[in-house]
Amino acid sequence: MKIIIIGAVAAGTSAAAKARRNSEDAEITVYEKDRFISYSGCGMPYFLGGEVARAEELTPRDPAFFRDKYNVDIRTEHEVLSVLPETKTATIKNLKTGDVFTDSYDKLVIATGARAVTPPIAGRELKHVFTLRGIGDMLRIEAFLEEQKPKSAAIVGTGFIGLEMCENLMRRGIRVTLLEKLPQVTPGLDADVAVYVEEHLKSKGASVLTGVSITRITERAVELADGTNIEADFVLLSTGVRPNTDLAQAAGIRLGTTGAIQVNERMETNLPDVFACGDCIEQFHVVTGKPVYRPLGSTANKTGRIAGDCMTGGSLAYRGTLGTGIFRVMGLDVGQTGLTEREAKAEGYDTVVCHNIKPAKPEYLGGKEIVIKAIADRMSGRLLGAQVVGPEGVDKRVDVFATAISFGAKAEDLFYLDLAYAPPFSTTKDPVMYTGMILDNAIRAQRPLMQAEELIARQESGEDITVIDARVTAQYDKAHVDAAVNIPHAQLRDAVDSLDRDAVVVTYCNKGTTGNAAQNILINRGFKRVYNLSGGMNQYKMALKYLKKS
């Protein structure tokens, strides 16, 4: 069997390695138009910030490695110009010599990846304006930073790469301004979680401007539509990626609804013996089953392995994506998996949402708080998604949520997980377990939650709502929910008879636990419509910040 693979980064090299493991007889050739292969793209911001000492650490494998270990021929600086499925041939150009030649295949893999999106901003061609997608980009940026020593930077876009670059440029002593056209940073998060990220960025000295549009880039500034000039000796355009599909389209390979290559669970395209994998393909979502485009390094490796297996007679099959991701920005870890509340509602789910604020481990061992927002389906109880932010323990919780969602867990199942516990690592009831308890109480035990933005909206509409602050008086005096009355938890039983049992009542504390205890008292005393404020006063204060902006 003769195999041609187009692309030699994560997906292409994974496909080659798995194909070789399945077959010693296959002739495997990989064409890559870049000089670098199989590199760690996610590590590039950390090289630019000095945390990774040498660029070579991100490119540990070269064509010789694959030739010696896998007997795979990787030809760098070779661009595939066209593919003819009718004759099973490809036309290739050697970019070093200019020679053009034809090669044939029995099986073909398209692993052409994705490219950075550059918005049509005047001045984007200037020498101090960059994108960061490959090792070549990284080396050009490093050379510029070393030679020009910029004092100020503007980063357009606040996704993973934009925020990781913010951290690493600031490590170099560069002033950073983040520019985002949406009203929040981290567009992949819900606004009530993204606000934590924005507040953290500001606390660490980054300038953050949301809801802005850019008119043009000049030699020393970025000009906004309102006429404001943002000083910038260095500009990074971090506004997303687009799948490289031109070659596939020209060959008659079908694209999906997301604009990426359509494949089945075996990575097969609509053409016989033609497979595709990595950042150029469309995936399907584990929860909804619908097509999505989630270009992630972990997914690229996974789909590459499946392609390599299936084209050599294997039976691996893709099981979908949750879009699980995590990043760190100046000491804050931010992770997510599954559907956001926004996405779940768009899909028609009757959502139940909680904000769980708990220490990642006991406070007596220095545990710091993490914020978990989790979404479940009210009808089935199924867990749909989770977002977690905090200075520690975020990765562990996101991975547990991702595993649970992958296997169709319900909110109630989280409480029964037998998670590892010892004080250096977790609390006795892990925050994941608490999240399950809160959601299950809201779904099955008629202990409903009210989101801060809903409470604010209903109050602003003039609705008569009794809001009970169950904290001690000193905390109430410091700050409290609008129109709240202070009835500390210890005094609530004595005050029950003075309250209207038919009124809509919202109880709250700082984070939600004492508010739930107050809610239980009222429900058990015959109150019919009692809600606990999700995330308590802490989440309410954050809601005021992002609602004021929007």
The CATH number of residue 535's host domain is: 3.40.250.10
Whether 104 and 161 share a structural domain:
no
Contact by Cβ (8 Å): 524, 496: no
Q: Please check whether residue 141 lies inside any domain of the structure.
A: yes
Contact 375, 339 (CB under 8 A): yes
The answer to whether the beta carbons of residues 504 and 487 sit under 8 Å apart is no
Based on the fold, state whether residues 475 and 439 are members of the same structural domain: no
Q: Is 42 a catalytic residue?
A: yes
Alpha-carbon distance of 256 to 290, in angstroms, equals 11
Q: Which of 508, 463, 464, 466 is nearest to 489 (CA)?
A: 508
- CB-based contact 95:78 (threshold 8 Å): yes
Burial of 270 (0-12, 13-18, 19+ CB in 10 A): middle
Q: Is 480 within the bounds of a domain?
A: yes
- pLDDT at residue 89 in the model: 98
Cα dist. 46→39, 169, 279, 456 in Å? 14, 10, 22, 41
pLDDT at 25: 96
Query: Does 379 share its domain with 482?
Result: no
Residue 463 pLDDT: 96
- The crossing angle, in degrees rounded to 10, of helices 297-310 and 10-22 is 30
The continuous run of DSSP H or E covering 42 comes out as none
- Answer yes or no: is 38 within a domain: yes
Domain stops at, among 397, 414, 443: 443
How far is residue 289 from each of residues 307, 338, 352, measured CA to CA in Å? 20, 12, 21
If asked whether residues 204 and 285 sit together in one domain, one would say: no
Low-confidence ranges of the chain (pLDDT < 50): none
Beta bridge partners, 93, equal: 79, 100
Q: Provide the pLDDT for residue 445.
A: 82
CATH number at residue 168: 3.50.50.60
* CA atoms of 469 and 379, how far apart (whole Å): 31
Distance CA 39, CA 65 (A): 13
Q: Where are the alpha helices (DSSP H) in 9-159?
A: 10-22, 44-48, 63-70, 135-148
Domain that holds residue 62: 2-113+242-310
Which residue is catalytic, options 42, 277, 310, 509? 42
Residues 142 and 214 placed together within one structural domain of the fold: yes
The two structure tokens encoding residue 311: 């084209």
Q: What is the pLDDT at residue 482?
A: 95
Tell me, yes or no, whether 227 and 246 share the same domain: no
Whether residue 251 sits in one domain with residue 286: yes
Same domain, 266 and 229: no
Task: Return the DSSP state at 477.
Answer: H
In a shared domain, residues 142 and 203 = yes
Let me know the angle formed at the C-alpha of 240 by 265 and 290, rounded to the nearest 5 degrees: 30
Give domain status of residue 536, yes or no: yes
Residue 121 lies in a domain: no
Q: Do residue 104 and residue 9 come from a single domain?
A: yes
Cα angle: 185, vertex 191, 196; to 5 degrees: 70
Q: Phi/psi zone of residue 54: left (φ > 0), alpha (ψ -120 to 50 degrees), beta? A: beta
Tally of domains in the chain: 4
For tokens 């993973």, the residue is 160
What is the rounded distance in angstroms from the CA atom of residue 155 to the CA atom of residue 131? Answer: 10
As a whole number of angstroms, the distance between CA 304 and CA 297 comes to: 11
Residue 460 lies in a domain: yes
Last residue of a domain, one of 443, 472, 499: 443
* pLDDT number for residue 471: 98
Q: Does 246 lie in the same domain as 234?
A: no
- Whether residue 319 lies inside any domain: the answer is no
Residues 143 and 96 in one domain: no
Strand partners, 329: 332
Q: Which of 217, 239, 261 is at the close of a domain?
A: 239
The secondary structure of residue 350, as a DSSP letter, is -
